[in-house]
Amino acid sequence: MRLKLLLTTAALLAGPVLAADTDEARMNALVDQAVQRYQLPGIAVGVIEDGKVVRRITRGELAVGEGAEINDDTLFKIASNTKAMTAAVLARLVQAGTLRWDDPVTKYLPQFRMYDPWVTRNMQVRDLLIHNSGLGLGAGDLMLWPEPNRFDRNDIIAGLAHLKPTGSFRADYAYDNLLYVVAGEVAAAAAGKPYSVLVRQEIFQPLGMQRCQVGEWSPAELGNIARPHYRDGNRNIAAAADPARVDDFPSMAAGGIRCSLNDMLRWMQVLLDPTQAPGWLDTTQRRALWTAHMPMPISQRLRDWDNTHFLAYGYGWRLSDMDGQWKVAHTGTLSGMYSSLALLPDARNGVVILINGEAEDARTALMQAMLKRYTAPAASHDVLHYAQRMDQDAAQRRSAGHVRPAMPDRQPVTPSVSGNNTGIWRDAWFGEVQLCPHDGALRFSSIKSPQMSGKVMHSGQRWFVAWDTQGEDAEAWLEFSGDAKHSVMRMRAIDPEIDFSYDYQDLQFQRIGDCP
């Protein structure tokens, strides 16, 4: 009897350990599947269960081939996961009585203008955060991207007045970045401090997020920074290293913060459990962040994968149901770097994924596989299952004609055949571009966005721009209309799967002069 009791006790003690080991092995296996399936240069994954950090998993290098490994303190660009931090800064200011969610934007930024004067007067601080402005998807993003460029925050605020809406104010959801830039400036004006100072003061310092960076900072002094990577066939190519000093660039409040895995886990813990930082954010403001302020359309994928019935945008967060559980999440996308963060608040569980490569499908498949362990464990699948389903979706889009047209006859446009299309052109918000001869060919070059430069080519009778640095998936048709006195140039994306931040459709250039 005594031996049996000892054996039973040992088994009971060993059971949870064995289960933990099995769970750890499964999570490691899922991460490894994502790395191998999508040939990722590097990744950092963190998992929280019942408010406690239970896993930190890192793989790969800061820059491929250079040997420095990613760890828990490596800095990643979190991109649009910045939006939740911008919203939290505003919530802290509301809590302090510095501003109100329903204050008009013009109270703090008198120069603020939208295309419609009525919208200008009625745009409230809360409206800046929930993508209900009536602007089209990604409208004006070419003032933010590609970086670096010469647009500043004043240019962005002034440019909004020239962006024509595609819908009615507060009627429909369309994701935008520019109004988060405005939100950052509202916070700065209300508090009398720059946005970057407010983020450090209201979030990083009180929550102990020690490695996070915002505004101007020194990569050379900080070190351990993941570099973005681009795909070249089967290879990952590291982007150039950061300069010795990173500037406080205009899109900071929309997607400019960098954090480590440890920082993001601390952020998640505080959001899941108020006792982690008593008094930091009261119940009213926590509820405001995670209230469904703007309904969002539910994709067929969400219906099929998660049995989703509800989807909406809060203040910097997407809110939904996943297999009957409440989910609060967001993603972040910058060229060469992807992030994803998801919380299941009722169970105080969460997952964060940081990747320094082109990894849209990778983050989707991995996050899905990780979350299903909590929302539908009996029906959970691995990364390869979701990768296959996305491949099938992509094949269906291609068969339906959603594919970049083949252009085997690409040829440079020479100055001798360019006619009246050469010259200096101007768009009201994007500014001037030149379409001028250079080294025997015609080139497109932007004054305020130097990376938007490239050779003008033709395929058949159609002209397009082959960018020097942006790649074929971002190339754009050039379309001309009008007469010699009133010439108009428009741009259209060639690839139907182009990133929405290349908002060529919002540009309308007028010819204003000859080439210098």
C-beta of residue 435 within 8 angstroms of C-beta of residue 446 = no
User: What's the pLDDT score for residue 20?
Assistant: 53
Beta strand 423-427 pairing with 431-438? antiparallel
Looking at per-residue confidence, does 504 or 14 come out higher?
504
Cα→Cα distances 507→54, 163, 341, 502, Å: 48, 9, 33, 10
Report pLDDT digits (tens) over 107-129: 999 999 999 999 999 999 999 99
pLDDT at position 56 over 70: yes
User: What's the pLDDT score for residue 470?
Assistant: 79
- CB burial of residue 147 (10 Å; 0-12, 13-18, 19+): middle
User: What's the pLDDT score for residue 13?
Assistant: 34
Looking at per-residue confidence, does 483 or 358 come out higher?
358
If one counts every other C-beta atom within 10 angstroms of the C-beta of residue 395, the result is: 10
Mean pLDDT (the chain) is: 93
Which of 139-148, 195-204, 407-416 shows the highest mean pLDDT? Answer: 195-204
User: What's the pLDDT score for residue 303?
Assistant: 97
If one counts every other C-beta atom within 10 angstroms of the C-beta of residue 391, the result is: 11
- Which listed CATH number (1.10.3470, 2.30.30, 2.40.128, 1.10.760) goes with 411-513? 2.40.128
Distance from C-alpha of 481 to C-alpha of 486, rounded to nearest angstrom: 8
Report pLDDT digits (tens) over 300-336: 999 999 999 999 999 999 999 999 999 999 999 998 9
Cα→Cα distances 77→71, 85, 358, Å: 15, 13, 13
Confidence of residue 8 (pLDDT cuts 50, 70, 90): very low
User: What's the pLDDT score for residue 5?
Assistant: 35
Average pLDDT (17-22) is: 56
User: What's the pLDDT score for residue 3?
Assistant: 35
C-beta of residue 132 within 8 angstroms of C-beta of residue 170 = yes
* Residue percentage of the chain with pLDDT more than 70: 96
User: What's the pLDDT score for residue 17?
Assistant: 41
Confidence of residue 77 (pLDDT cuts 50, 70, 90): very high
C-beta of residue 193 within 8 angstroms of C-beta of residue 92 = no
**Tokens at 15, concatenated:** 């059971």
Minimal CA–CA distance to 200: which of 191, 188, 212? 212
pLDDT at position 206 over 60: yes
Confidence of residue 420 (pLDDT cuts 50, 70, 90): confident
C-beta of residue 78 within 8 angstroms of C-beta of residue 250 = no
Cα torsion through 62, 67, 68, 70, rounded to 10: 60
Residue whose pair of structure tokens reads 């299952």 in the numeric block: 385
Domain boundaries, the chain: 23-399, 411-513
Task: Find the range with the poorest average confidence among 4-13, 63-72, 93-102, 306-315.
Answer: 4-13
Report pLDDT digits (tens) over 396-414: 988 888 888 888 889 999 8
User: What's the pLDDT score for residue 2?
Assistant: 37
pLDDT at position 469 over 90: no
The number of CA neighbours under 13 Å toward the Cβ of 248 is: 13
If one counts every other C-beta atom within 10 angstroms of the C-beta of residue 510, the result is: 14
Distance from C-alpha of 467 to C-alpha of 473, rounded to nearest angstrom: 10
Confidence of residue 14 (pLDDT cuts 50, 70, 90): very low
Minimal CA–CA distance to 319: which of 308, 332, 305, 329? 329
**Tokens at 272, concatenated:** 């899941």
Query: Which residues share a beta bridge with 464?
Result: 457, 477
Cα angle 510, 512, 516; round to 5: 130
User: What's the pLDDT score for residue 23?
Assistant: 87
**Tokens at 214, concatenated:** 């915002």
Assess whether the region 23-399 and the region 411-513 belong to the same CATH fold: no
Architecture of domain 23-399: 3-Layer(aba) Sandwich (3.40)
Q: What is the 3-state secondary structure (H, E, C) of 377-428?
A: HHHCCCHHHHHHHHHHHHHHHHHCCCCCCCCCCCEECCHHHCHHHCEEEEEC
